[in-house]
Amino acid sequence: MLYKSCYISPIGAIYLVCDQTGLMGLWLENQKYFAKKIIDESVIAKNHPTIKKVKKWLDAYFAKSNPQIDNLVLRPQGTTFQKEVWKLLMEIPYGEVTTYGEIAKMLAKKMGIDKMSAQAVGAAVGHNPISIIIPCHRVIGAKGNLIGYAGGIEKKRWLLEHEKN
């Protein structure tokens, strides 16, 4: 069974979905690749332990406290490649950014190959089902431009500004 809840944040409604084990999705309202079917089929559960932990994490994040994710169980659903990219996203420090190309280089090295497509990495980043916690907003274009955020560029800009010291 899947459980859902809504969290009202400074950037709008955020929809949370978990199963008995952990968080499966965190989507901004109107986000590209929004999992409406999963949300529609989930049961409202404001007091589910995972939902409560995630809301506490979001409270801390929006209070600018750089919360850690070690007490959260994240269960993003995707391909092996996507999951590898999402693991690398979690290594981007709070308040810092990296590029799609840099992630592609790290992934290529990890896989023991010469190079990896930044576009393939971009597609995986764009399908991240646990926005903010898996910080896809910290990935920018090669020239420092804000591109490719499924939640919208304005929200990406807001999140990056929010994380500045």
Q: How far apart are CA 51 and CA 64, in angstroms?
A: 20
Catalytic residue (one of 136, 140, 150, 160): 136
Would you say the C-alpha torsion 76, 108, 118, 138 has a positive or negative sign?
positive
Q: How far apart are CA 23 and CA 82, in angstroms?
A: 17
CA-based nearest residue to 22, from 87, 85, 69: 69
Q: How far apart are CA 143 and CA 71, in angstroms?
A: 35
* Residue 136 a catalytic site member: yes
**Residue 112: DSSP 8-state:** T
Active site (catalytic) residues: 136
